[in-house]
Amino acid sequence: MKPVKVGLLGLGTVGTGVVRIVEGHQEDLASQVGSPIVIEKILVQNKNKARNIAIDSDKLTEDPWDIIRHPDIDVIIEVMGGIGLTKEYILEALSLGKHVVTANKDLMALHGPEILAKAQENRCDIMYEASVAGGIPIIRTLVEGFSSDRINKIMGIVNGTTNFILTKMSQEGASYLDVLKEAQELGYAESDPTSDVEGLDAARKMTILATIGFRANVALEDVSVQGISSVSKEDILYAKRLGYEVKLLGIAERQDDLISISVQPTMVKKTHPLASVNGVFNAVYVHGEAVGETMFYGAGAGELPTATSIVADLVAVVKNLKLGVNGMQGSLSYKEKKLKSDDQISSKYFLLLKVADRAGVLARITQVFADFEVSLESVLQQPTPSNPEAEIIIITHDANKAAIQKVLATFESLEVVHRVKSVYRVEG
């Protein structure tokens, strides 16, 4: 049996995991695809670097074109990261008729439509399961498992770093900055954690999921993004008292062909399955018209979980190769993108207000909500000892985003409202 030859761009944590799985599972892989799979060449930055895995030095190269233009390589796996040069390499590989598996969420979120078009033009496969939620096979599920259904909502915890931070804040009553420092020491957060904690990483992943789920070319700028750096111990304490957990959720919704996509700290009812997803784990909740509610849970990152998704994509490419059906999956994005306006985006909201502690204040505040036709589910007012302020906690019924923004703007000019401490979307 003629082996299928693979080129690997990158030998970091995930690349090492790919080598371990491909070389350690040869019998299983060959039984699935009908031939051996061989890693022919591996791109590294330094061939002489000491590694924690034994690799024939003849397989290593510091020149990416040794792999991309190699006449015998059928499939290229990209785990080097980056955008500019990486995009160039992938487009050239597709132009040469090579199939590509990538874990690069940044690249696919920013340039997915162009790369998918190039793949289709050259009858090549482009697979990117590992770009979202690590070891959870969510992309394949959306493409294949929901192919006969119509997805209305995708809601998920897709960033392990922020979920670790919020879990520790909830379980231990720790502050955001203390837990962030711990996450950096454990290697869960980068020295510059901006991409994670400000929601940018999650936004890229939701761009990919919304594009697939709604069959429309969603761009990163279509995602409304808010991170967790302003979440306080006080916010989480009130959430728990009211029966909620605070999670950074990516939320993509469709109604009558109008879509909205956001990433934001959200109060999730404790009875909802997403509320119990803790630590660095990820979970994606999908609601389909026919199937109803489903949820997918697992490791969102790490050497072997991510590598498992990559090798599963590799198996799919090789099966297509054997059947002669590469590049025939059809267009994922055939619908016109129609975004909801703020007055069409609706949800419940939690607000924590610091107000003057005197008679008539609550009536004045509730009147503001009434003025903009926002009905209230619950209102809790409590004085703060030895402080001239009181706290008012409000949970609204479903209200549109534009109305809430008008309420908040009115509070800014209202003398009895000292400040709006927190505003969160409420789910579940």
Catalytic residues: 205
Residue 385 tokens, joined: 């000892």
Beta-strand runs (E) in 290-336? 292-299
**Which H/E stretch holds residue 259?**
strand 258-269
Instruction: Annotate 141-152 with b (16+ C-beta within 10 A) or e (fewer).
Output: bbbebbeebebb
Dihedral in degrees, nearest 10, Cα atoms 36, 41, 45, 47: 100
Question: Residue 51 CB: number of other CB atoms within 10 A?
Answer: 12
SS3 at position 64: coil
Question: Residue 363 CB: number of other CB atoms within 10 A?
Answer: 8
Q: With contact defined as beta carbons under 8 Å apart, do 57 and 47 qualify?
A: yes
Cα separation, 223 vs 319, whole angstroms = 35
Is 202 exposed, middle or buried, given 0-12, 13-18 or 19+ CB atoms closer than 10 A? buried
